Amino acid sequence: MRTTRYTLRPTTLADVESVNALLREVAFKPRSKAGWRWLFLDNPASRRQASPPAMGWVLERGGALHGYVGNVHLDYVLDGKPVRAATCTSDYVRPGARAESTRLMSAFFRQRGVDIFLNTTANEFSEPIYRLFKAAAPADSSFSEGLVWVANDRIALRDTFAHAGLPRALAGFLAAACAPASLLVRSLTGFAKPPRHTSTDAVLEFRPDQIDARFDRLWEQVAAAPGLRVRRDAARLRWYLSDPDAGSVPVIFALADEEGLLGYAAAARHRSATAPRTQMRIIDLVVRPGAARAVPVLLQRVLAHARDTGAGLVFCAPGGASLATELKTLRPYRLRHSYASHLLRASQGSDTARLAAPGVWEATALDGDAPFCIENAGIGALVSASRQPG
């Protein structure tokens, strides 16, 4: 019988610093103890369970951690009916232990009491592992395209020049010189510049702690529509948008009429670990059925907020076809990738193909583990090309 060199065990709160030390090797987002309590213990989907689910699993040898995967339970609805989901997050195994990396994924997919297993931040390195466990990518092409708009040409150019290795002072000088030409070209071509949209609707602004019963009523309307979507009642939205390790407070812009909220967009400043450009990331964008007219108004408000807060770009992560169809009419730059970032598997394997069929998963960046990766611009760092985060 083969003797394994590594011990597989559930993660505990005592592992916070050891896990952070491991994940710093690939510049994954660090987590404080408060952040772990928020993510795993204060999570509404975990608190309602009689026995809290595992926070994740580690591969350990000689008192040191060599691999980790987080395990976050979430509440979803499928065609209006509740389903229990689990998303894995921050999956990383050191090169010397990768022969046993599938043991972490096996622990994730073996857990009981879960209807759907999913991940929304897979990449070219981790996708094959999920495929090995029979997870499938959604058939919609929208799940392979991030959408980008330029909020401020000078800032976007400055960050681009700085990322290319120019000194920051020189990058700023060149950006100031080139910005007028960039703006003119984009105005003429419409590249990454949404068409002007005039509206008399007043845009409301909320902090996470101000989310109220109006969001419950909107959720009831959205949840009644067919498809798979993460639960977005007011209590869960307040939890999602209150990450103590985010480094900044998200802002929620909303439109309303006499019937209640037409929709909202939640946005936060973010610096990607793989590209140190400060951007405004759309965390969630939801409109009630028949209220697509709210989408361009909300996007324009997010763009204005990005300019006001010094972000050069606005990014919307890949997601469901319904939202993507509306956003693509607003002239984004399409950031395509060849791998599947979104993967799912039903606990009953025969249901996986149905969930992955076109038009079923109505995802935004609030789905899966994507919102837990949002971090303040001061935290981001480069990932070495030789590393393989999962």
Q: Quick: pLDDT tens for 261-318.
A: 999 999 998 865 555 567 899 999 999 999 999 999 999 999 999 999 999 999 999 9
SS3 (DSSP) at 281: strand
pLDDT band at 48 (very low <50, low <70, confident <90, very high): confident
Residue 284 and residue 234 share a domain: yes
Residues 222, 181 share a domain: yes
pTM listed for this prediction: 0.90
| Mean pLDDT, rounded, for 103-123 | 94
- 240 inside domain: yes
Instruction: Give me the pLDDT at residue 277, please.
Output: 66
- Tell me the residue type at 120: T
C-alpha atoms less than 13 angstroms from C-alpha of 244 in its C-beta half-sphere = 12
Are residues 82 and 217 part of one domain?
no
Q: Where are the beta strands (DSSP E) in the chain?
A: 7-10, 56-61, 64-78, 81-93, 116-119, 145-150, 204-206, 228-230, 251-257, 260-272, 275-287, 313-316, 333-336, 343-346
CA pair distance 363, 282, nearest whole angstrom: 12
**Number of domains the chain is built from:** 2
CA dihedral 135, 141, 143, 146 (to 10 degrees): 150
Note down the domain range covering 49: 7-140
Residue 387 lies in a domain: no
Report which residue type is found at 390: G
Q: Are residues 154 and 21 in the same domain?
A: no
Contact 162, 154 (CB under 8 A): no
On whether the CB atoms of residues 278 and 159 are closer than 8 A, the answer is yes
In this structure, what CATH number is given to the domain that contains residue 254? 3.40.630.30
Residues 73 and 61 reside in one and the same domain: yes
Domain membership of residue 343 (yes or no) is: no
DSSP code of 48?
A: T
Last residue of a domain, one of 140, 164, 195: 140
Same domain, 62 and 208: no
Torsion of CA 236, 241, 246, 247, to 10 degrees: -140
Residue 384 is predicted with a pLDDT of 27
Note whether residue 350 is domain-resident: no
Instruction: Note whether residue 346 is domain-resident.
Output: no
In a domain, 344, yes or no: no
| Whether residue 304 sits in one domain with residue 215 | yes
pLDDT in tens, 311-329: 999 999 999 999 999 999 9
- pLDDT-based confidence at residue 348 (cuts at 50, 70, 90): confident
Looking at the structure, tell me whether residues 202 and 308 fall in a common domain: yes
Question: What three-state secondary structure class fits 186?
Answer: helix
